[in-house]
Amino acid sequence: MTTSFGSATSTVIPNDPKIRMQSFTGLKSLHSIALARNHRVFPLPFSTPSVIRAVSTPVKPETSTTEPKRSKVEIFKEQSNFIRYPLNEEILTDTPNINEAATQLIKFHGSYQQYNRDERGTRSYSFMLRTKNPGGKVPNQLYLTMDDLADQFGVGTLRLTTRQTFQLHGVLKKNLKTVMSTIIKNMGSTLGACGDLNRNVLAPAAPLMTKEYLFAQETADNIAALLTPQSGFYYDVWVDGERFMTSEPPEVVKARNDNSHKTNFPDSPEPIYGTQFLPRKFKIAVTVPTDNSVDILTNDIGVVVVSDDNGEPQGLNIYVGGGMGRTHRMEATFPRLGELLGYVPKEDILYAIKAIVATQRDHGRRDDRRYSRMKYLISSWGIEKFKTVVEQYYGKKFEPFRELPEWEFKSYLGWHEQGDGALFCGLHVDNGRVGGKMKKTLREVIEKYNLNMRITPNQNIILCDIRSAWRRPITTVLAQAGLLHPKYVDPLNLTAMACPAFPLCPLAITEAERGIPDILKRVRSVFEKVSLKYNDSVVIRITGCPNGCARPYMAELGLVGDGPNSYQIWLGGTPNQTQLARSFMDKVKVQDLENVFEPLFYYWKQKRQPKESFGDFTARIGFEKLKELVDKWEGVVQTPPARYNLKLFADKETYEVMDELAKLQNKSAHQLAIEVIRNFVASQQNGKSE
């Protein structure tokens, strides 16, 4: 029997008691769905004064036989035999690309079809593969495998993503099966890294051996396992049905199979997802109190470990409804921060996660993918209604949210103790692009010392399990490849992020990764021009389109591509990523950015409160006043320039000594050197006058 599940979609409509929400009744045959489509009124599965309707089609009499509107992707999923057909046939053809349906389905397998947009004429197709690494964990064997594949079948580089995964670009269709199977056979997977299902689960990348951090990583692993597809389509397509799955914890199997509250499709190969999977991508992050290295509020679900006074995990706070993506000129689409849902004991977390996923699965919109993320469902219903529905699937009430301390952004760059006698080393990688000498050196170090590694949500690398005796030789060889201690990296670069954008992303409107190095240099020049200190850093994130892959809407200064060589400017995020930025200006050409940057940074320097960040400053002053300052800007009032441009430092050693002394006075090396020279000249002149 062919099976499917009905995709009711919902939003709040006041004062219409005739309209009701479809309840979830488990897996249905296509025949039963066809019969059900003739009847639009369904009993509510819970008691509530609110009323709801399916938004996929106008309300019509019960005799209507009109099909509910569904997006094209929903049809592809329904007809795919659980994400197999026609992909399994398309990858065997001689053409360099695959058809439209297969292009959508291959996302569930962890790949996107792309073409080089720098080239004109015939499209040069290739595929991007994205791995799935819960918490960013990468075994030694997998890293070396990915390094080899990048050289043999990719473009010679690896891309570290903001969701703690690898992206491998430039794989030709004829090599897809070889590359996929090689990843699978070397402790890796790309299953579910893209597509309408749970994506990679984030967790702090630091391999700290405290009970909280270990529990956070374990929880991320278990959630990832719980929501991994079960029907075998991935292995059927890429390794001819051979399974390479590790054993799962019994609590994961138990939670997945539990159907006490009608969360599952009985007897389906996909007990949680059914044939239709989720309406859209779904993102989850797990962390511990204070550690916001994962941008916790930007996820569909954010989970925070709550411990007792002895550091023993007791339960978890849950946020819901975060998400970054939006569409230009469509105000009904928007970035959104997650909000508080409640607290659950640690033994219930998998059941709570499953209940939230089931709610989005059954009630998220499936007619228009621009509104299919869970944030729109929560915005439509309100958090209290959403909680009520989730509790029906969960089978109990959520407990009150436990109080948490303030969040901090933690990069974990530099050298740190793990807590088990070993060290870890965090390495800054500009925009997550590993290539050239850096790639060669990283491989040598990881291979020589048999190191495991982790990828951070800020596109950086952490080398794990390093013995103390290895620290000096590793530091030396990494520095020679440009992988420096963070104190030698420009602070602007340390927190900056950009998406890949051109030339391969089909959604890019303008540059991001290729443009950010020059933009950061220009920001640094503006800092110097308005006399900001070297360490007066700002979180800058750039994306080539409004989808928000580099999370620009959380930045203090976000640049979002809105036209060729043009950006929308967002202001007002905070360094700890807890406040949403807002759109400040549209259509600012890349060559005109200084016209906006200079007045903003100048007035931040002049008018900020003690220790006030740039994001907090822009939020306090207000956009109306800031726009007035930009419009009236006539440039920095400069003292007469010196006749000669003198090079102050002839050697690196002198500079480093001066830099260390300058930092003690919260100055740059250049500023301190100028002061020393001026004082010396003044003393000499005073001596002559005597």
Show the tokens assigned to 544: 């080539």
Domain 73-203+207-394 identical in fold to domain 417-485:
no
Q: Is the pLDDT of residue 13 over 50?
A: no
Which residues have CB under 8 Å from 404's CB, separation 6+?
A: 289, 304, 306, 317
- pLDDT of the residue at 264: 98
- Name the H helices within 282-373: 349-363
What is the Cα–Cα distance from 239 to 64, expressed in whole angstroms? 46
Q: Is the pLDDT of residue 17 over 70?
A: no
- pLDDT of the residue at 640: 57
Residues paired with 519 in a beta bridge: none
pLDDT confidence band for 673 (50 / 70 / 90): confident
- pLDDT of the residue at 666: 65
pLDDT mean over 229-248: 91
Q: Is the pLDDT of residue 662 over 50?
A: yes
Q: Is the pLDDT of residue 48 over 90?
A: no
Q: Which residue, among 434, 437, 464, has the nearest Cα to 449 in the 3D structure?
A: 464
What is the Cα–Cα distance from 636 to 641, expressed in whole angstroms? 13
Q: Which fold has domain 494-632?
A: Sulfite Reductase Hemoprotein; domain 1 (3.30.413)
CA distances in angstroms from 321 to 284, 294, 338, 600, listed in the order given: 10, 15, 4, 32
pLDDT confidence band for 323 (50 / 70 / 90): very high
Q: Is the pLDDT of residue 670 over 70?
A: yes
Phi/psi of residue 497, each to 5°?
-145, 155
The tokens 């760059």 sit on which residue?
A: 413
Do 339 and 387 contact (CB within 8 A), yes or no?
Answer: no
pLDDT tens track for 481-533: 999 999 999 999 999 999 999 999 999 999 999 999 999 999 999 999 999 99
The full set of domain ranges for the chain reads 73-203+207-394, 417-485, 494-632, 652-686
pLDDT mean over 534-543: 97
Do 647 and 627 contact (CB within 8 A), yes or no?
Answer: no
pLDDT tens track for 160-205: 999 999 999 999 999 999 999 999 999 999 999 999 999 999 999 9
Do 407 and 443 contact (CB within 8 A), yes or no?
Answer: no
Q: Is the pLDDT of residue 690 over 70?
A: no
- pLDDT of the residue at 474: 98
Determine which of 6-10, 288-292, 464-468, 611-615 has the lowest per-residue pLDDT on average. 6-10
Q: Is the pLDDT of residue 8 over 90?
A: no
pLDDT mean over 228-240: 97
Do 483 and 427 contact (CB within 8 A), yes or no?
Answer: yes
- pLDDT of the residue at 553: 98
Greater pLDDT, 469 or 40: 469
Which residues have CB under 8 Å from 57's CB, separation 6+?
A: 66, 67, 68, 69, 367
Show the tokens assigned to 307: 């411990």
pLDDT confidence band for 679 (50 / 70 / 90): low
pLDDT tens track for 585-628: 999 999 999 999 999 999 999 999 999 999 999 999 999 999 99
Pairing of strands 166-171, 125-130: antiparallel
What is the Cα–Cα distance from 546 to 508, expressed in whole angstroms? 9
Q: Which fold has domain 73-203+207-394?
A: Sulfite Reductase Hemoprotein; domain 1 (3.30.413)
Q: Is the pLDDT of residue 556 over 60?
A: yes
Q: Is the pLDDT of residue 60 over 60?
A: no
Rounded to the nearest integer, the mean pLDDT of the chain is: 88
pLDDT above 70 as % of the chain: 86
The tokens 């290539």 sit on which residue?
A: 435
Q: Is the pLDDT of residue 676 over 90?
A: no
Determine which of 39-43, 141-145, 281-285, 551-555 has the lowest per-residue pLDDT on average. 39-43
The kind and range of the H/E element at 160 are strand 158-160
What is the Cα–Cα distance from 637 to 604, expressed in whole angstroms? 15
Show the tokens assigned to 581: 């930025």
Q: Which fold has domain 417-485?
A: Sulfite Reductase Hemoprotein; domain 2 (3.90.480)
Q: Is the pLDDT of residue 28 over 50?
A: no
* HSE, side-chain direction, 13 A CA sphere, residue 444: 14
Strand blocks (E) in 257-391: 284-287, 301-307, 313-320, 339-345
What is the Cα–Cα distance from 275 to 4, expressed in whole angstroms? 5
Q: Is the pLDDT of residue 689 over 60?
A: no
Answering whether pTM is above 0.95, one says no
How would you class 421 by CB atoms within 10 Å of its CB: exposed for 0-12, middle for 13-18, buried for 19 or more?
exposed
Q: Is the pLDDT of residue 374 over 90?
A: yes
